[in-house]
Amino acid sequence: MISLRIPEEMEKRLRSMARLEGKSRSEIIKQSIAEYLTRREGALTPYELGKDLFGAASSDREDLSVNRKQYLKESLQAKHEKRTGTKKSDGTMTWRPVAEIVFFISSMP
């Protein structure tokens, strides 16, 4: 047996709904609790909801969080080389693009 206290406004709405449906307030409350329990028992956990997404954008680099700036620098250099073809024969970039990349990376948090 459960004793339940609800706000007066909710009690008025419950009484009105019980009258409309021809049910007792207890019946409506029991039905509501049963529906709630059924929904909750079948609900997925946050892990179950996202498990197919975890690691979806993973990298083979285990040190990505530590060396992100270096990897970003390399990625930007490769992108720039592809677009402009400014890679020197010794493998280095021309001065200006490298300076811009270094400035961008050094300003990152």
Which pTM was predicted?
0.41
Q: Could you list the pLDDT tens digit for every one of the 109 residues in the chain?
A: 889 899 999 999 999 999 999 999 999 999 999 999 888 887 888 888 888 877 656 667 778 778 888 888 888 888 877 777 666 666 665 555 555 666 666 666 6
Say what the pLDDT of residue 101 is. Answer: 60
CA distance 23 to 16: 10
**Alpha helices, H only, the chain:** 8-21, 25-41, 46-50, 68-84, 95-106
